[in-house]
Structure 1
Amino acid sequence: MAVRSSGNVRITGTAIDDQKVTFQKIVSLSFESDRFTPADELQFTVLDVLNGRFKFITMELNGRKIFDGIVDIQKRVIDQKGNYTSFVCRRKTCMMLDNEVKPYWYFNLTSDQLIKSHALPYGANGAKLPKAAVLPQILAKKGISHWEFLTLFCRLAYHRSPYVDRMGNITCDPFQETEHLFSNSRADGIPFLTAELTDDHYQIISKLSVKTGKAEYGATYGYVLNNASADQFEIVRERYYHPETEWQGEPALSARQYYEDKQAGFFEVTVTVPGIYDIRAGDSARFEDVIGSYYDLYVTKVRLRSDSDGNTMTITLWEKSGLINR
């Protein structure tokens, strides 16, 4: 049985001979997107009789492309019931994760050089950075991926972490202007089947002391960052942080980035909605219900499931205040 209500979803494959095929008999589909990694994943199974071997896959929703990726796995199965083909695909920008940077000290690296050498050849369409920037020096350690190198550059130059927006551009804008309202009480909201609101206090750090030098019997910790969120909940959880070489001379920035990495998702709203919507990681969001309303959220993860039982999406929302470098 084909996927129910799949008329607004169109999946097209490009074979190794560059022939294009639009799949007609999709029996299952799953899609996952995460704001913090450039490797959206699409998995689907079709009953179409296929002879070709495929290299690229695109997926459109209501005529708008929402996935442009490479085929990681194509599996063809023939049994007594017939035959089917399954695909595992990732967004083309996953190549920024799959490829390593040459270990090297880079001097006077500009943002333009960064994008031309570490983003465009590996699936990105372009960049929307806050301004032109140059770093006097930056170290690419052995084993670092192009995405990790891009992230390090943006954190040092712009004090923000990059992500890939809905147009395939590298951006440091923390949130997109597109906003979604999830509500069962508002007529203009997206209704949800279930909602989970989680306060994860274990992620919260109350005090971070950053190493800034050496002492006779240890280290000196000349920079201390206290967390107002921890004070609110009366949480005591102290850490001593020794920044890596690339953060030397930036104790305040390294401390704020450490906080962000550890506790950005300390408050989480997870909603499951019926149907398929054009919701992307990085979009802004609001949640309204009788149990509470939250207006300063953003989408961190999107999961789509589609099979003979219907279509559902699970969207994970975090508070914008968790991204302190914004």
Structure 2
Amino acid sequence: MKIVLTDINGQEKTIRKFKKLVLKEEEGVPAHTLLVRFHSEGEPLSEIAFMRFEDEGKIVFDGIVDTITEFYSEGNYYFEVFGRNRVSLLLDNEVMPAVYSNPTSEQIKEIFLKPYGFSDYVGGTSSYNGIFNVAKGKSPWDIIESFCKTCYETVPYCSPDNVIYFTGLPTGEKITFGKGFDIDFSEYRFDIQRHKIISSVKIKRSEAEDYSTEIFSQEADKRLIQRQRYLNASNTQFTPVFCAEKMLLNGINNSRNISLKCSGLLSDCLGAEASVSVFGRVIDNLKIYGLQINVSENQINTVVELRGNSSYVDT
């Protein structure tokens, strides 16, 4: 396990002992973050531009340095380096306003990915049907996200090796957490967040109509939840009812949240399907949506965040 820091002159410094390391990844949040604190021993540190986190030869994080801090605490000098993965380039830059007609996935890559060092993407050959407007103030990521939501019905994802997935976060093999299963845990917390569940969605099917169609959730009704939303589906390529059912489903899935603390470093499992064995029962239909890797002088652990992953909703 090591951190490789590269300064503005291209010189590398390898750090193998950390006072603190925190890596955070979350589905739907494009920029994963890494914070590293290490002893400085009083020597000056040149300005760091890039940072890479490797474990057993595998790249866990590769990104841009945002801040460098030098400080003194309890008789020791420390440096602290904080950065985001390279997708931060797509978040921090602004694109030129323009109008595109029926842009393809390949064109989106060439215009909005390639200039920032992203040479490849994973996806199909989907094209946007119609006029695609790029407004003033939009970032490359705003454009890519809008394109993917419309053409693939996904939120794009950037892998540790800097490949953009237009098709969304890839899923790995299913993992069962629990004693005697794939991965054990030392801490467990289960939250039911009722406020995230939607009971009905009123739909506007076209510009000529009002919100006259309503889709109900039997799940919300059974749980005595009343929370209504409105959906203008007049400009989507998907059917209005499909979009409304997706909103209801997301609300149900996001209402079940489990947090587990596991020993060791867990990576490459963001987006994986999962189940949890606890108190003699199994909680199934879960998905890993967040990871926080914590490394200190004495221990390594990973906090795994899971939520519901049902593929259907009663309406």
What range is the shorter-chain TM-score in? 0.7 to 0.9
8 Å CA contact 2:128–2:150 kept in 1: the answer is: no
Q: Relative to structure 1, is the Cα distance of residues 323 and 140 closer, same or farther in structure 2, using a 3 angstrom cutoff?
A: farther
8 Å CA contact 1:97–1:145 kept in 2: the answer is: yes
RMSD over equivalenced CA pairs, Å: 2.8
CA distance in 1, matches of 2:258, 2:170: 17
CA distance in 1, matches of 2:285, 2:238: 33
8 Å CA contact 2:62–2:160 kept in 1: the answer is: no
- The count of residues paired between Structure 1 and Structure 2 equals 310
AA matched with 1:182: F
**2:187 corresponds to 1:204:** no
8 Å CA contact 1:30–1:303 kept in 2: the answer is: yes
The answer for the alignment partner of 1:6 in structure 2 is none
**2:41 corresponds to 1:52:** no
Residue 128 (structure 1) shift: 1.3
Deviations 1:205-253 (A, max 9, x none): 11100223568xxx6124433224324424232222345x854886345
User: Where do 1:205-224 residues align within 5 Å?
Assistant: 205-213=198-206, 220-224=210-214
CA distance in 1, matches of 2:205, 2:292: 42
AA matched with 2:29: T
8 Å CA contact 1:263–1:322 kept in 2: the answer is: no
The answer for the alignment partner of 2:171 in structure 1 is 176
CA distance in 1, matches of 2:210, 2:155: 28
The answer for the alignment partner of 1:28 in structure 2 is 20
User: Where do 1:112-151 residues align within 5 Å?
Assistant: 112-122=106-116, 124=118, 126-151=120-145
The answer for the alignment partner of 2:9 in structure 1 is 17
AA matched with 2:231: Y
The answer for the alignment partner of 2:71 in structure 1 is 77
CA distance in 1, matches of 2:266, 2:238: 45
User: Where do 1:294-309 residues align within 5 Å?
Assistant: 294-309=283-298
The answer for the alignment partner of 2:281 in structure 1 is 292
Question: What SS class does the counterpart of residue 321 from structure 1 fall into?
Answer: coil
Deviations 1:159-207 (A, max 9, x none): 22222235432222554124332112x2x42111111122212111111
Residue 138 (structure 1) shift: 2.0
**2:264 corresponds to 1:269:** no
Residue 292 (structure 1) shift: 2.9
Q: Which runs of 5+ in 2 are unaligned?
A: none
Q: Relative to structure 1, is the Cα distance of residues 106 and 264 closer, same or farther in structure 2, using a 3 angstrom cutoff?
A: farther
Q: Relative to structure 1, is the Cα distance of residues 248 and 39 closer, same or farther in structure 2, using a 3 angstrom cutoff?
A: same
Residue 117 (structure 1) shift: 2.0
The answer for the alignment partner of 1:43 in structure 2 is 35
Q: Relative to structure 1, is the Cα distance of residues 235 and 242 closer, same or farther in structure 2, using a 3 angstrom cutoff?
A: same
8 Å CA contact 1:159–1:253 kept in 2: the answer is: no
**2:181 corresponds to 1:192:** no
Q: Relative to structure 1, is the Cα distance of residues 251 and 82 closer, same or farther in structure 2, using a 3 angstrom cutoff?
A: same
CA distance in 2, matches of 1:286, 1:203: 21
The answer for the alignment partner of 1:226 in structure 2 is 216
User: Where do 1:100-119 residues align within 5 Å?
Assistant: 100-119=94-113
AA matched with 2:101: F
Question: What SS class does the counterpart of residue 230 from structure 1 fall into?
Answer: helix
Q: Relative to structure 1, is the Cα distance of residues 320 and 300 closer, same or farther in structure 2, using a 3 angstrom cutoff?
A: same
8 Å CA contact 2:18–2:38 kept in 1: the answer is: yes
CA distance in 1, matches of 2:212, 2:98: 30
8 Å CA contact 1:94–1:123 kept in 2: the answer is: no
CA distance in 1, matches of 2:282, 2:309: 14
**2:267 corresponds to 1:278:** yes
AA matched with 1:83: Y
CA distance in 2, matches of 1:196, 1:249: 37
CA distance in 2, matches of 1:91, 1:108: 30
Residue 116 (structure 1) shift: 2.1
The answer for the alignment partner of 2:62 in structure 1 is 68
Q: Relative to structure 1, is the Cα distance of residues 150 and 261 closer, same or farther in structure 2, using a 3 angstrom cutoff?
A: farther
AA matched with 2:102: N
Q: Relative to structure 1, is the Cα distance of residues 269 and 78 closer, same or farther in structure 2, using a 3 angstrom cutoff?
A: closer
CA distance in 2, matches of 1:101, 1:227: 40
Q: Relative to structure 1, is the Cα distance of residues 323 and 152 closer, same or farther in structure 2, using a 3 angstrom cutoff?
A: farther
Q: Relative to structure 1, is the Cα distance of residues 66 and 214 closer, same or farther in structure 2, using a 3 angstrom cutoff?
A: closer
Question: What SS class does the counterpart of residue 195 from structure 2 fall into?
Answer: helix
**TM-score of the two chains, using structure 1 as the length reference:** 0.84
Residue 125 (structure 1) shift: 5.2
Of 174-183 and 35-44, the range deviating more from structure 2: 174-183
The answer for the alignment partner of 1:4 in structure 2 is none
AA matched with 1:237: R
Q: Relative to structure 1, is the Cα distance of residues 318 and 84 closer, same or farther in structure 2, using a 3 angstrom cutoff?
A: same
